[in-house]
């Protein structure tokens, strides 16, 4: 708003770090009276601070329900997954991590997770492989290292490869989401499900065994697609055309092929993504079997999933969930809902 002087312009008000005495005054006052109007609070409490500074100090540090200390692996993974969908909506992300503040999550992202994604060759904004050529080559190198696949005769279309990697990353996110759902007791789904009730009813209505089936299906689905992806390194150019149904897959994701000890060996970071991913099944088949375009087409033909309530299998439901026209709207709704929290 124009015309309202910022805190910094109000003469005589203290700025900078809070002293323990100030903290005590603020905590005592709020415990006795509640915060009420933040603007009025400093005078009433006897603090030489602006209301905004008091509010920030309380919400980011003094609040009794704040959780301190290192982020757990689960929290880190949840932040990454949520960021892939929500972007820098720190408040919305914090809403899914009880006890964590938006400021803390933002700081953790900027100081740890962003670097981690960059080192993996992923754009921390889009969660996709970085688009410039140098970064693309870096991504390729890491992807190859990650799967112990190496060839001296790389003759590939770089843009198409990047597209494939992106699709794989989307698949991976869906897979991770399902893993969280499967790993949690049904009674805790709401707590652990980062998307609350915005998940499709088809997903929320499943019992644990069906979720497990869905998760298993995604494992095979992802494994097969990763096999296709890595096979493309070795396939002659004329065999690299995308399967018909491939481009219809869309899910939104942040990670492609990260399950590799070697990747983490290259990264000088205080925590390990491979540790977090150790609970995942091996998603890269050493001897891929299902790699033909025809099979892919059969798997993801969206026309087969138009009626998930009838005789569709959980796998068909997955295909439905991944279908571009469904998921684009879904992600948009999801973001809108989170923005409206």
The nearest distance, CB 14 to DNA, in angstroms, is 7
Q: Where are the alpha helices (DSSP H) in 184-313?
A: 189-192, 201-204, 208-231, 261-265, 273-277, 293-300
Residue 52 or 210 having the CB closest to DNA: 52
- Around Cβ 67, how many Cβ atoms within 10 Å? 13
Residues in 68-97 at the binding interface with DNA, rule: CB under 7 A: 88-92
Single out the segment in contact with DNA by CB under 7 A; choices: 1-9, 197-205, 219-227, 273-281.
1-9
The 217-256 contact track toward DNA, x by CB under 7 A, reads ----------------------------------------
Residue 185 or 270 having the CB closest to DNA: 270
Picking from 73, 106, 64, the residue whose alpha carbon sits closest to that of residue 89 is 106
Determine the 3-state secondary structure of 243 from DSSP.
Answer: coil
Residue 10 or 289 having the CB closest to DNA: 10
Residue 83 or 130 having the CB closest to DNA: 83
Residue 26 or 299 having the CB closest to DNA: 26
- Around Cβ 216, how many Cβ atoms within 10 Å? 15
Question: What CA–CA distance (Å, rounded) separates 317 from 7?
Answer: 53
Question: What CA–CA distance (Å, rounded) separates 262 from 304?
Answer: 40
Residue 68 or 282 having the CB closest to DNA: 68
The nearest distance, CB 138 to DNA, in angstroms, is 18
39 binds DNA (CB under 7 A): yes
Question: What CA–CA distance (Å, rounded) separates 80 from 87?
Answer: 9
64 binds DNA (CB under 7 A): no
Question: What CA–CA distance (Å, rounded) separates 232 from 163?
Answer: 12
271 binds DNA (CB under 7 A): no
Question: What CA–CA distance (Å, rounded) separates 208 from 214?
Answer: 10
The 101-120 contact track toward DNA, x by CB under 7 A, reads -xxx-xxx-xxx--------
The nearest distance, CB 51 to DNA, in angstroms, is 5
Instruction: Choose which of 47, 56, 97, 181 interacts with DNA (CB under 7 A).
Output: 56
The nearest distance, CB 341 to DNA, in angstroms, is 7
User: Sign of the CA dihedral 173, 72, 99, 186?
Assistant: positive
Is the distance from CB of 255 to CB of 52 less than 8 angstroms?
A: no
The nearest distance, CB 189 to DNA, in angstroms, is 24
- Compute CA distances 141 → 119, 146, 165, 269, whole Å: 12, 8, 13, 19
The residue ranges that bind DNA (CB under 7 A) are 1, 3-4, 6-8, 14-18, 36-40, 49, 51-53, 55-57, 59-61, 88-92, 102-104, 106-108, 110-112, 270
């Amino acid at each position: 708003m124009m015309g309202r002087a910022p805190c910094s312009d109000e003469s005589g008000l203290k700025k900078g770090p809070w002293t323990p005495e100030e903290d005590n005054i603020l905590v005592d006052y709020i415990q006795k009276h509640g915060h009420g109007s933040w603007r009025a609070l400093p005078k009433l409490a006897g603090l030489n601070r602006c209301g905004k500074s008091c509010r920030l100090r309380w919400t980011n540090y003094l609040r009794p329900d704040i959780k301190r200390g290192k982020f757990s692996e689960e929290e880190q993974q949840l932040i990454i997954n949520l960021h892939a969908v929500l972007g820098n909506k720190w408040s919305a992300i914090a809403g899914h991590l009880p006890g964590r503040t938006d400021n803390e999550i933002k700081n953790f992202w900027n100081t740890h997770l962003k670097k981690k994604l960059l080192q993996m060759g992923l754009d921390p904004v889009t969660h996709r492989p970085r688009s410039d050529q140098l970064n693309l080559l870096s991504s390729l190198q890491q992807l190859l290292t990650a799967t112990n696949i190496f060839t001296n005769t790389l003759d590939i279309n770089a843009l198409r490869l990047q597209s494939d990697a992106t699709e794989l990353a989307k698949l991976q996110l869906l897979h991770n989401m399902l893993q969280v759902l499967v790993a949690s007791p049904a009674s805790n789904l709401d707590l652990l499900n980062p998307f609350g009730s915005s998940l499709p009813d088809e997903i929320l209505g499943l019992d644990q065994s069906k979720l497990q089936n869905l998760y298993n299906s995604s494992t095979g689905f992802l494994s097969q697609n990763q096999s296709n992806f890595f096979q493309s390194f070795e396939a002659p150019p004329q065999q690299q055309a995308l399967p018909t149904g491939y481009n219809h897959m869309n899910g939104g994701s942040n990670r492609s092929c990260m399950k590799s000890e070697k990747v983490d060996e290259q990264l000088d970071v205080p925590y390990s993504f491979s540790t977090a991913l150790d609970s995942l099944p091996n998603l890269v088949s050493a001897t891929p079997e299902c790699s033909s375009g025809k099979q892919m087409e059969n798997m993801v033909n969206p026309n087969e999933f138009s009626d998930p309530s009838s005789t569709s299998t959980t796998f068909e439901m997955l295909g439905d969930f991944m279908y571009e026209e469904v998921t684009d709207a879904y992600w948009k709704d999801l973001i809108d809902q989170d923005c409206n929290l």
